[in-house]
Amino acid sequence: MIELSDITFAYEQDGFALRAEMLSIAKGEKIAVVGPSGSGKTTLLHLIAGILVPSCGKVQVEGQEVSAMSDKARRRLRLTTMGMVFQGIELIDYLSARENVLLPYRINSARSLDSAAKQRAEELLERVGLQAVSGRAASGLSQGERQRVGICRALVAQPGLVLADEPTSSLDDENAASALDLLIQLVDESGATLVMLTHDKAQLPRFDRVVAVDRGEVSGAVSGATSGGVR
């Protein structure tokens, strides 16, 4: 599903650089990415998504060389292949919960907003306990409700790859556990690949593998998530 080889990416402003000699992620794997704040975790996620382009090396997703694509082609790949769950949730406040979930269909002309898509959105909202507030504007939802809408939005188009940037960091322990339960359950059901940044080491046993990022160095050979010892 994902392969990074001989990657270097540097920020001109502060000189910070991220390096990854080799990182391969198989289809259907659930990967946790860990490391201190400022270590380069979000940069790694943005390179996989094609939001950033490495200064050297290759990023491939589903056999396509993302790092060699135009801006337009990378955006199309994100819209058609990936679902993203953001740390800040990033809903459109004046749209309803339902409309936010269906947003991937409205911003991507290659997807048809048909009855099947609308039905899937309703099913997802029901599963996360939001059917009763599905018509409410996002500005009127609680933090936990907003996070559940964000997860539904990332998964409504059944992407092959889900990228999540600290999706539970703004939630209390109970809501964080519930949101992660939902995310992993839906990913497992669809067979999607999950790459998630997290600071919560208690959740690492739920992942197939842990990748560590420390001071700009990516280690793709970290032992299994259940073995412990991950920084």
pLDDT digits (tens, 9 = 90+) for 143-182: 888 888 988 898 888 889 999 988 877 677 777 777 788 8
State residue 41's pLDDT score.
92
Closest CA to 183 of 147, 208, 143, 209: 147
Give the rounded percent of residues in the chain with a pLDDT score beyond 70: 93
* Residues in Cβ contact with 90 at an 8 Å cutoff, skipping those fewer than 6 apart: 150
The full set of domain ranges for the chain reads 2-222
Q: How many CB atoms lie within 10 A of CB 115?
A: 8
State residue 226's pLDDT score.
42
Q: Mean pLDDT across the stretch 99-127?
A: 86
Q: Can you tell me the distance from the alpha carbon of 20 to that of 221, in angstroms, rounded to the nearest whole number?
A: 11
Q: Does the structure show a pLDDT above 90 at 1?
A: no
Helix 173-190 / helix 143-155 crossing angle, nearest 10 deg:
10
- Sign of the CA dihedral 162, 166, 170, 176? positive
The reply to whether CATH 3.60.21.10 applies to domain 2-222 is: no
pLDDT band at 69 (very low <50, low <70, confident <90, very high): very high
pLDDT digits (tens, 9 = 90+) for 39-63: 899 999 999 999 999 999 999 998 8
Give whichever of 126-140, 174-188, 216-230 has the largest mean pLDDT: 126-140
Q: Mean pLDDT across the stretch 208-221?
A: 85
Give the rounded percent of residues in the chain with a pLDDT score beyond 90: 40
Q: Mean pLDDT across the stretch 108-137?
A: 86
**Which range is least confidently modeled, 9-13, 111-115, 173-177, 185-189?**
173-177
pLDDT band at 110 (very low <50, low <70, confident <90, very high): low
